Amino acid sequence: MGVWSTANAITYGQTLSESNLTGGTANVDGSFAFANPSATPDAGIQSVEVIFTPNDADNYNSVNGNINITIVKARPSVSVWSTADAITYGQTLSESNLTGGAANVDGSFAFANPSATPDAGMQSVEVIFTPSDVDNYNSVSGNINISIEKATPSVSIWSTADAITYGQTLSESNLTGGTANVAGSFTFANPSATPDAGTQSVEVIFTPNDADNYNSVSGNINISVEKATPSVSIWSTADAIIYGQALSESNLTGGTANVDGNFAFTNPSATPDAGTQSVEVIFTPNNADNYNSVSENITISVSKANSTVSLWSTADAIIYGQALSESNLTGGTANVDGSFAFANPSATPGAGMQSVEVIFTPNDADNYNSVSGNINISVEKATPSVSIWSTADAIIYGQALSESNLTGGTANVDGNFAFANPSATPDAGMQSVEVIFTPTDADNYNSISENINIKINKADQTIVWDQDLSMLKVDDQVQLTALAETGLPVSYSISDEDIALIEGDLLTILEAGELTLTAIQEGNENYNPVDLSRSITIEVVTGIDDGITTSVKLSAYPNPVKHQVSISGLQRGSKIALCNQLGKIILLKEVQNEKEVLDLSNCKPGVYILKVIGGKSIRILKV
């Protein structure tokens, strides 16, 4: 043989007949074939017997020889690959159990990379089937799915949440701190939640950065949720109260806030001062668990309280012209401390008992109103001041003061001057008489009096002497009846004592002739002297009655006199004269009857002289 054939490689399990023999050289034509073509040699380089059979088998013998054939290991056939138990990210594949699996040969399944730690999820991993007959069979690999569960991170310290206010979402709180075994971040599980106020337990999620391989993990932490402060857009309005009333007596009306609630005074028992006061009002939400109360100052009108006067002051009397301020107010009782004063202290009320307004002003005038009432005050009449008293014109004795003119005079108020006793008839001389100044405003001013001097001139007087002396004769005696109208005594003188003799008022005719008789009244402190002369002719005549009736006796009774006096023994045609002690005629009456009655009731008590003048005689009685 020159060159044996070459056998094509076959796979373990194939018979040699499945290998092609190529080539080969012999010295004769023939063919090469495997001696045992049904043989299934083991894998590897195997020496197998090849027979060369000459075409001329008749002449040539077959010849055997061994050649090498490559037997390639067979590839097992896996009909069902194993199933891998799920593992957790971070575990190696070796920690997963492979179960099941079917192949056409015995063998085992194993992970191609058992130390691998695949990512979480459904991962495709290589599994190798290793036949038990590894000499003849190759291992075969295939990919199977394995469930890699995400790992759960371990949080050793949970984050701390910053406090928020009720109404804020958790997302508005900052989470700070926190420690886990992997990198990641902490967040609120429900960031949009608005927990109630207080210390609340809320869920926080830790989300690993490697979210593909790690689960998020949650835990509860405490968060401080502070009560929210409500927003009041319009504060309530307080009704006005009176000083002394507590704020609780004022109604709060209106008010608007962003949550339901009610308005109330912070200090309802307070009694603020009068005026427009700033007081604190609290808005308390109905949801007091989650909302703080909020306060604000509003204004309230506090009216002054009215003070009550139980007893008004008493005013001291003043004099007209004085202002009320000059009167002292004493006493008075009110329900609060204070003082009484006149409403119009500058007023000058008229004299008399006047009603004037008094104001009670509390000491605490900021909180109490003044109250007024009327009281009576006695206003005495003022006494005017006369700087110059009037001057009285001179009058004549016997004239009443009313006949003197008062001129001039100056006072501090209008008025007039008059004599206090205008009917008085003062004695002659420089007399001091009382003058009264009467103010025109007599309602408010007293009259005031003062003595002034008035000159009273002596009065002239006359002598009434209507006695008929024409029939006198020698040796006649006649009682002269000249009568001073003043009642003053009259004396007589004669011009010729040889013709007549005068003794008192008895005239005795001595001889015939011309005789002048003079009746003289010498005057006194009030009257000027006066005389009246009569000339008579004395003739010698006999047998004529002397005119004196001696048989008639005058009498007056009662004596002393109370009211009336009766006079008897009178002769018609006579005259009765009633004179005072100064000789002034008070009453003169003509006799009509033998008995007359005089009414003396208007005469002042004293001694008076009755003179009965008739014919040629005068009869005198004292009563």
pLDDT in tens, 243-271: 999 999 999 999 999 999 999 999 999 99
Domain boundary among 18, 48, 72: 72
pLDDT exceeds cutoff 50 at 552: no
Say what the pLDDT of residue 541 is.
45
What is the residue type of 389? W
Q: What percent of the chain has pLDDT over 70?
A: 95
Residue pLDDT, tens place only, 308-336: 999 999 999 999 999 999 999 999 999 99
Whole-Å CA distances, 64 to 3, 25, 48, 69, 295? 12, 13, 10, 15, 122
CA distance 253 to 268: 15
Same-domain pairing of 85 and 141: yes
CATH of the domain at 570: 2.60.40
Residue pLDDT, tens place only, 225-240: 999 999 999 999 999 9
Residue scoring higher pLDDT (557 or 547):
557
Least confident segment among 104-113, 259-268, 580-589: 580-589
Say what the pLDDT of residue 623 is.
57
Instruction: Grade residue 155 by pLDDT with cuts at 50, 70 and 90.
Output: very high
Domain boundary among 174, 207, 226: 226
Q: For residue 550, tell me if it sits in a domain.
A: no
Domain boundary among 354, 380, 406: 380
Backbone angles phi and psi of 18, in degrees to 5: -90, 5
Same-domain pairing of 439 and 467: no
Q: For residue 56, tell me if it sits in a domain.
A: yes
Q: For residue 260, tell me if it sits in a domain.
A: yes
CA distance 152 to 469: 184
Domain that holds residue 237: 232-303
Helix (H, G, I), strand (E, B) or coil at 95: helix
What is the residue type of 215? N
Residue pLDDT, tens place only, 273-291: 999 999 999 999 999 999 9
Q: Are 69 and 16 in contact (CB under 8 A)?
A: yes
Instruction: Grade residue 564 by pLDDT with cuts at 50, 70 and 90.
Output: confident
Say what the pLDDT of residue 22 is.
95
Q: For residue 320, tell me if it sits in a domain.
A: yes
Instruction: Grade residue 1 by pLDDT with cuts at 50, 70 and 90.
Output: low
CA distance 167 to 534: 148
Backbone angles phi and psi of 556, in degrees to 5: -130, 135
State the chain's mean pLDDT as an integer.
92
CA distance 321 to 349: 8
- Please, where are the H alpha helices in 170-299? none
Same-domain pairing of 242 and 283: yes
Q: For residue 549, tell me if it sits in a domain.
A: no
pLDDT exceeds cutoff 50 at 156: yes
Q: How many domains does the chain have?
A: 8
Q: Which two tokens stand for residue 290?
A: 């989650």
Say what the pLDDT of residue 17 is.
96
